[in-house]
Structures are given as C-alpha cells and as structure tokens.
Amino acid sequence: MDYSDRVNSKKGAGGIASAEDANIHTKKRVQELLATHILDIENDPYVFRNHLGLLECRLCLTTHNNEASYISHLGGRKHHVNLERRRVLDEKQHRQHQYQQKINEQISISNIEKRSWKKIGQPEYKISKIRDPETDQVGLIISVKVPKITVEEPIFRFMSYFELTSKNQNMYTKYVEKMRSDNDGDEEEELNESDNQLLIISAEPYENIAIVLPNKKEIEKPQGKNEMSDKFWWVWDNDTKEFVLQMLYKK
C-alpha cells in the first residue's frame, strides 16, 4: 500500500486534509445546512442583522458572520439550553400574570354591584344649642327625622374641607362666601375653609346633611371608634325613625 500521500498520518487513518480539502468540506457542509434549514430572519424572534451586516442571536448574545454559522448555532447545545431556560421563564411569568389577573378580577370595582337609589330630598332636621348644667360646657344636639329610610339606621362622619371632592369643595366655598356676606364680616375669621369641619349625616334614600362646625372649638368625644360617653352620644329610635346626636365642646 502506498503511503506517500499521507504525510504524518497513521496507517489506516487517511491523510491530513489540505487547506483546499478543508474549504471544499466547509462549502459542502454549508450547502447541506442551507438545503435542510431555511433561515427566516423576519419570523425568527431571536435573530437580527446588525449595522455591520452580521447576524446576532438575542437569546445567546452571539455574533455570526453568515447564515450557515447561525444555523449551526441553532443546533448547538448552548442555544437549546437557553431556549429551555426561556420556556421555563415564560411559563412562570404566564402563571404569575394569570394569578394577578384572577386577583384583580376578584377585587375589581367593576365586579362590585353598584348601589343606586332615587334621592327624595333632604330630611327634616333640627339643631339646638345646649349647655351642661354641671360643667357649664356648651354644645349641640341634632335631631333628624327620616320616616322613609331604607337602611338600618343613619350614619355620620366628621370630615375636613380637604377630604371633600372638588365639586363639594366648590359648593362649600360658595356657602362660606354667602355666610360672610350675610354676617358683614363679623365672623369672617371663623368661616375660612380650613378653619371648619363638617358633620355629614347620611340616611338613604335622603340626601346627605352637611353641618359646618368650627375647628377652634374641640369636641369632647372618646378616642375609640364608635364609642360614646356622657358628653358625646347618639341614639336611633327605630319606631319613630328619629336620629339624635349630642356633642359638647371642651372648655
């Protein structure tokens, strides 16, 4: 057997390929890859051609000189591992999105049935000034008659000017200006928007009642929520449909 063309090669192993043979083999491999794989850059989400005309893989952050190199990269281990990692991450994000969407649907305001009722005007109410005979404290007693009430009992709340909506703030400002003009400036200092608070009494289907109270006089009431005392109390008479609230100011 003639081994003259097989320099530095082992017996039975074939000769060392020359540069020309290597180029022929490379071109043949490129033709096989291009024949079996069609590279669609527009539909492949991970490949794009940069400003130098080279192909880049967004997933693996690799650069390739031609299509054959990128196709060869697609069949490699690195790309497949990154594809699996991406799939796991996408599934995790999809589950989180579904869970968050489910939570939002449960607490969405659109899922809460909106209450609506036809208002029938303001109820009859009376405000009287009182004085405690023992402590000589002054205060107010407010009685509201709501014979057509549709809820269990009226509710009330103290609110500041800044808690009101813009519409109610405008109404309150007009009321203050009217009171200033009626009092000829005698009580102008007490009628500033930030120097007053409002007592809101609500009894559906009646309109709310808003009573303006000066902030300079502090109401003597318990610190706890929905707690009453001898100075601050309220009562609801379900038979006569009358709500009474009493408050005294601190001396």
Q: How far is CA 2 from CA 6, 7, 15, in A?
A: 9, 11, 11
Which residues make beta-bridge pairs with 142?
127, 245
Q: Which two tokens stand for residue 232?
A: 């601050």
The DSSP element (H or E) to which 3 belongs, if any, is none
Residue corresponding to tokens 């120097």:
195
Question: Mean pLDDT over all residues of the chain?
Answer: 79
Looking at per-residue pLDDT, the higher value among 224 and 78 belongs to: 78
Quote the tokens at residue 136: 């000589």
Tell me what pLDDT residue 16 has. 64
Distance, in Å, from the CA atom of 124 to the CA atom of 241, rounded to the nearest integer, reads: 11
Give the pLDDT confidence score for residue 187 in this predicted structure: 47
Query: What ranges do the domains of the chain cover?
Result: 19-110, 124-248
Residue 26 tokens, joined = 């490379």
Inform me whether the pLDDT recorded for 3 exceeds 70: no
Q: One-letter amino acid identity for 48?
A: F
Bigger pLDDT: 241 or 179?
Answer: 241
135 pLDDT tier (thresholds 50, 70, 90): confident
pTM: 0.49
Q: What are phi and psi of 180, to 5 degrees?
A: -65, -45
SS3 label, residue 141: strand
> What is the model's pLDDT at position 85?
93
Lowest mean pLDDT among 76-85, 101-110, 196-205: 101-110
Q: Find the mean pLDDT for residues 119-131.
A: 87
Distances in whole angstroms, Cα of residue 72 to Cα of each of 36, 46, 163:
11, 14, 67
- CATH class of the region 124-248: mainly beta
C-alpha pair distances (Å), 15 with each of 1, 9, 22, 235: 13, 6, 12, 109
Looking at per-residue pLDDT, the higher value among 118 and 88 belongs to 88
Task: Give the torsion sign (CA, 4, 8, 9, 10).
Answer: positive
Where is 14: in which H helix or E strand?
none
Is the per-residue pLDDT at 240 higher than 70? yes
Q: For residue 21, is pLDDT > 80?
A: no
The token pair at 149 is: 């009430």
Q: How far is CA 80 from CA 64, 67, 72, 139, 211, in A?
A: 17, 18, 12, 80, 72
Q: Which pLDDT band, with edges at 50, 70 and 90, does 207 fall under?
A: confident
